[in-house]
């Protein structure tokens, strides 16, 4: 990080943030503390949820439509807790997401509409996390489509010209934070925001419910992240969220 020619992404608050996730609750689990910290520091944060999580249940009686409606409401409430301004729902089908050109164009549209100064997305290269977790294929697809949309589609005038017809001019997004990466190089101290992160997670009642073990895991994960920081500055707290950071251009 000594050769960095841009502001330290771990201590800089982006002005306008677009966070793209596969499912309602992905952001809260992974980077809710950072969202709360940035919002408190004045960032305008918009979420885009590609699916509304219509497969995320063991209840044999609930319909996908009903579950989606519940999960969208839960996401809106969680976003409110964190200080997120708005949530865009693209309503793709859960669990069958593929990073095709339709999804890339839809995300390019959202990026050009929101015009963020920083994009937060999932990691398309993360397949296995440790020896206990196979990454959900939707997360990988969401990451791949997001990365492809930010570079080069949202920048290039001649890609998806139909978006120009909608009045959506190209935009360069220079700052990209990739969450859930095995190659994290940006560690954000979220010690003061763990309680609000947990409060936001509790809004996802259909997913977390009363499962305190999930919430305990989230705290342990943040502690592990803080320990992974290779050169922790003086005063860095016990809880961190991590990203692979890309500064483009
Ligand atoms: Zn997910």
Q: What is the DSSP string of 5-49?
A: -S--TTTPPPSEEEEEESSTTHHHHHHHHHHHHHHHTT-EEEEEE
Average pLDDT, the chain: 96
Which pLDDT score is estimated for 2?
54
Give 210 Cα–ligand 1 centroid separation in angstroms.
19
Cβ-based neighbour number of residue 93 at 10 Å: 14
pLDDT band at 3 (very low <50, low <70, confident <90, very high): confident
In the predicted structure, residue 1 carries a pLDDT above the cut 70: no
Specify the pairing of strand 175-179 against strand 240-247: antiparallel
What's the CA-to-centroid distance between 26 and ligand 1, angstroms? 5
Query: Please, what are the domains in the chain?
Result: 16-247 (3.40.50.10320)
User: Global pTM?
Assistant: 0.97
Residue 23 CA to ligand 1 center (angstroms) comes to: 5
Banded model confidence at residue 149, pLDDT cuts 50, 70, 90 = very high
Distance 54 CA to ligand 1 centre (A): 11
Tell me, in angstroms, the distance from the centre of ligand 1 to residue 4's CA.
32
Confidence tier at 209 by pLDDT (50, 70, 90): confident
Contact 50, 105 (CB under 8 A): no
Residue 6 Cα to ligand 1 middle (Å):
31
Distance 139 CA to ligand 1 centre (A): 6
CA distance 119 to 188: 16
Would the pLDDT of 152 be above 80? yes
């Amino acid at each position: 990080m000594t050769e960095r020619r841009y502001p330290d992404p771990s201590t800089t608050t982006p002005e306008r943030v677009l966070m793209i996730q596969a499912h309602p609750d992905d952001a809260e689990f992974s980077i809710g503390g950072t969202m709360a910290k940035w919002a408190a520091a004045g960032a305008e944060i918009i979420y885009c949820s590609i699916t509304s999580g219509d497969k995320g249940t063991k209840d044999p009686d609930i319909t996908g439509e009903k579950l989606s409606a519940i999960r969208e409401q839960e996401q809106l409430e969680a976003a409110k807790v964190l200080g997120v301004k708005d949530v865009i729902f693209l309503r793709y089908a859960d669990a069958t997401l593929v990073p095709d050109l339709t999804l890339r164009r839809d995300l390019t549209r959202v990026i050009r509409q929101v015009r963020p100064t920083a994009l937060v997305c999932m990691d398309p290269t993360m397949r296995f996390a440790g020896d206990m977790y196979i990454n959900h294929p939707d997360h990988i697809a969401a990451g791949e489509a997001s990365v492809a949309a930010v570079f080069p589609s949202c920048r290039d005038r001649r890609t998806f010209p139909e978006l120009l017809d909608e009045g959506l001019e190209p935009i360069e997004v220079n700052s990209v934070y990739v969450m859930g990466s095995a190659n994290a190089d940006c560690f954000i101290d979220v010690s003061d925001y763990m309680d609000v992160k947990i409060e936001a997670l509790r809004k996802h009642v259909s997913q977390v419910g009363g499962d305190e073990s999930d919430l305990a895991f989230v705290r342990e994960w943040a502690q592990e992240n803080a320990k992974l920081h290779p050169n922790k500055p003086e005063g860095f707290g016990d809880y961190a969220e991590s990203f692979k950071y890309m500064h483009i251009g």
